[in-house]
């Protein structure tokens, strides 16, 4: 598998080519589907049957790909990566009384792994739009959806879903998009192998999984944070027509991964909640 158009044309997706491409990775198992409603939904079904840590679900096409808060994620066949990984507590974090930050961290793990891959393997300059998007040239190339499975207050397992637009065919119609979209191929300038990209991202998830609490993880995340030093507006919910909940200068991340903002009155505010939207107002 080389990033070469003639080989790209030959890239066939089936159970055996997937297994070959992912050989040697510490997966707990793999399920491949040419067409599926949603890899996160399938991972949840697999969890019911006892999916192990790092079980992988991958689809060539999603018919009901999920975004956050009931939004949808567009995944046409042959153009994108859509996959989900199962995480079992104890394997990736020590269960704490308040596990919600762990889910946010898992989401960051996905964004950091994709970002790291795009930098190291493709020489690109991606950024992380807090909390869960990866941008190229300020357009969304990847979305991350971390979902928890709870028993009462206890996090039983988590599912990390990642969608990456690889070729231009992956792009959703621009109408109704919350944020402009792009694909890896557009920034890279030539075709690339989806299988190879999948393996590269999984390798970096493995790498960063054991380093979530290290300064290196925090530093990488913050160094690639989009809109740092810019004035931004934060919105709750999807509607960008409503007035923003908060506006301020984006200073960076605190030690927990919450945003640090400087408000107009000079005060510093931390924002940790998940459902916020960012819009750059103007460059400073």
Residue span binding ligand BT5 (CB under 6 A) among the ranges 66-74, 111-119, 220-228, 245-253: 66-74
Asked if residue 130 binds ligand BT5 (CB under 6 A), the reply is no
The Cα–Cα gap between 44 and 27 comes to 17
Starting at the earlier edge strand, list the strands of the sheet with 80-87: 29-33, 55-59, 80-87, 154-165, 139-151, 133-136, 127-129
Choosing from 77, 78, 172, 274, the residue that interacts with ligand BT5 (CB under 6 A) is: 172
The Cα–Cα gap between 227 and 135 comes to 11
The Cα–Cα gap between 244 and 242 comes to 6
Starting at the earlier edge strand, list the strands of the sheet with 276-282: 268-271, 259-262, 246-253, 231-236, 276-282
How would DSSP label each residue in 129-153? ETTTEEEETTEEEEEEEEEEEEETT
Asked if residue 140 binds ligand BT5 (CB under 6 A), the reply is yes
The Cα–Cα gap between 120 and 45 comes to 34
Asked if residue 185 binds ligand BT5 (CB under 6 A), the reply is no
Choosing from 30, 52, 68, 274, the residue that interacts with ligand BT5 (CB under 6 A) is: 68
Choosing from 65, 89, 126, 257, the residue that interacts with ligand BT5 (CB under 6 A) is: 65
Report the residue number, 30 or 178, with the smaller CB distance to ligand BT5.
178
Q: Considering the complex, what minimum distance in angstroms separates the CB of residue 178 from ligand BT5?
A: 4
Residue span binding ligand BT5 (CB under 6 A) among the ranges 142-150, 206-214, 224-232, 253-261: 142-150
Choosing from 163, 191, 248, 257, the residue that interacts with ligand BT5 (CB under 6 A) is: 163
Choosing from 126, 143, 191, 248, the residue that interacts with ligand BT5 (CB under 6 A) is: 143
Report the residue number, 28 or 211, with the smaller CB distance to ligand BT5.
28
Asked if residue 181 binds ligand BT5 (CB under 6 A), the reply is yes
The Cα–Cα gap between 73 and 67 comes to 5
Element (H, E) at 47: helix 39-48
Report the residue number, 4 or 137, with the smaller CB distance to ligand BT5.
137
3-state secondary structure of 221: helix
Asked if residue 177 binds ligand BT5 (CB under 6 A), the reply is yes
Binding residues (CB under 6 A) for ligand BT5: these are 38-40, 62, 65-68, 71, 73-74, 82-84, 132-133, 140, 143-145, 161-163, 165, 170, 172, 177-178, 181
């Amino acid at each position: 598998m080389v990033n070469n158009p003639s080989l790209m044309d030959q890239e066939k997706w089936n159970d055996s080519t997937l297994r070959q491409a992912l050989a040697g990775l510490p997966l707990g198992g793999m399920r491949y589907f040419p067409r599926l409603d949603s890899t996160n939904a399938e991972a949840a079904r697999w969890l019911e049957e006892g999916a192990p840590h790092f079980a992988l679900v991958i689809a060539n096409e999603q018919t009901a790909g999920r975004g956050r808060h009931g939004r949808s994620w567009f995944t046409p066949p042959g153009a994108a990566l859509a996959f989900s990984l199962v995480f079992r507590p104890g394997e990736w974090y020590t269960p704490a009384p308040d596990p919600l930050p762990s889910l946010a961290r898992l989401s960051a793990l996905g964004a950091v792994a994709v970002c790291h891959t795009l930098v190291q393997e493709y020489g690109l300059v991606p950024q992380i739009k807090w909390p869960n998007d990866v941008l190229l040239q300020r357009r969304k190339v990847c979305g991350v959806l971390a979902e928890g499975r709870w028993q009462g207050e206890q996090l039983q397992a988590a599912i990390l879903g990642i969608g990456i637009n690889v070729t231009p065919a992956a792009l959703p119609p621009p109408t109704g998009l919350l944020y402009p979209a792009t694909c890896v191929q557009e920034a890279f300038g030539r075709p690339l192998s989806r299988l190879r990209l999948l393996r590269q991202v999984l390798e970096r998830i493995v790498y960063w999984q054991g380093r979530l609490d290290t300064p290196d993880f925090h530093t990488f995340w913050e160094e690639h944070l989009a809109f740092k030093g810019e004035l931004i507006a934060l919105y709750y919910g999807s509607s960008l027509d409503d007035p923003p909940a908060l506006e301020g200068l984006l200073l960076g991340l605190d030690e927990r991964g919450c945003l640090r903002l400087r408000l107009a009155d000079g005060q510093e505010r931390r924002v940790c909640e998940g459902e916020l939207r960012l819009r750059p107002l103007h460059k400073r």
